[in-house]
């Protein structure tokens, strides 16, 4: 499953089916299509409007994953749809996501740089325990740096309306996937 948001819309994608929900003035517009979300780089710094949508996207994604946690991996689409989160579950979910694009970019860069530091500074330790311990420390440092970075620069408290928007987008992704499957 993929997710993406911009200033006006939130997208969720299941396989090749993408659902979206956005505001058109005061009402929600929604729908689905075949293809990926329209990924494009966001302008930095993020606006508070985008940060709230981004947080809502993460909260709904994490709430859905939490609902699926103890289930079999072999569920079909109709079964998975029964575990869509509600507004209360989404509100309680964490807005930090390991699956966020910022995690991939920042995390891979941090791990690469941190893991190279011993060589850069000429630290050649022959102890068998040094490198695994050092690499675990690199991963822990990266995790907490990414979490802090997301919270400070990419997320703001999700508004209730943005949570509703994200839930609608996820439902639309399932609706489109189900309808698309029936047509083929």
Question: Average pLDDT, stretch 86-115?
Answer: 92
Can you tell me the distance from the alpha carbon of 45 to that of 32, in angstroms, rounded to the nearest whole number?
29
Percent of the chain surpassing pLDDT 90: 64
H/E stretch holding 19: strand 17-24
pLDDT of residue 182: 55
- Whether 145 shows a pLDDT value over 60: the answer reads yes
Model's pTM, two decimal places?
0.89
DSSP state of 47: P
Confidence of residue 89 (pLDDT cuts 50, 70, 90): very high
Can you tell me the distance from the alpha carbon of 42 to that of 163, in angstroms, rounded to the nearest whole number?
20
Higher local confidence (pLDDT), 112 or 91: 91
Can you tell me the distance from the alpha carbon of 57 to that of 13, in angstroms, rounded to the nearest whole number?
12
Least confidently predicted of 34-43, 62-71, 89-98, 174-183: 174-183
**Boundaries of every domain in the chain:** 1-94+160-184, 96-154
H/E stretch holding 3: strand 2-5
pLDDT of residue 88: 98
Higher local confidence (pLDDT), 107 or 58: 58
Question: Chain-wide mean pLDDT for the chain?
Answer: 91
pLDDT of residue 161: 94
pLDDT of residue 171: 97
- Whether 121 shows a pLDDT value over 90: the answer reads no
Question: Average pLDDT, stretch 138-152?
Answer: 94
pLDDT of residue 57: 97
Apex 146 CA angle, 140 and 148, nearest 5: 105
Can you tell me the distance from the alpha carbon of 65 to that of 174, in angstroms, rounded to the nearest whole number?
15
């Amino acid at each position: 499953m993929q997710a993406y948001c911009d200033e006006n819309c939130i997208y969720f994608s299941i396989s090749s089916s993408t659902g979206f929900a956005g505001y058109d003035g005061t009402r929600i517009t929604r729908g689905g299509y075949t293809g990926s979300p329209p990924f494009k780089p966001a302008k930095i710094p993020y606006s508070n409007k985008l940060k709230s949508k981004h947080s809502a996207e993460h909260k709904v994604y994490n709430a859905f994953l939490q609902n699926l946690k103890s289930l079999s991996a072999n569920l079909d689409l109709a079964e998975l749809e029964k575990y869509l989160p509600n507004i209360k579950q989404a509100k309680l979910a964490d807005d930090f996501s390991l699956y966020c694009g910022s995690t991939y970019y920042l995390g891979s860069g941090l791990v690469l740089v941190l893991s190279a530091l011993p060589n850069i500074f000429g630290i050649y330790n022959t102890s068998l325990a040094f490198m695994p311990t050092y690499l675990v420390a690199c991963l822990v440092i990266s995790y907490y740096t990414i979490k802090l970075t997301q919270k400070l620069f990419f997320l703001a408290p999700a508004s209730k309306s943005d949570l509703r928007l994200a839930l609608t987008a996820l439902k639309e992704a399932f609706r489109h996937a189900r309808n698309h499957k029936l047509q083929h």
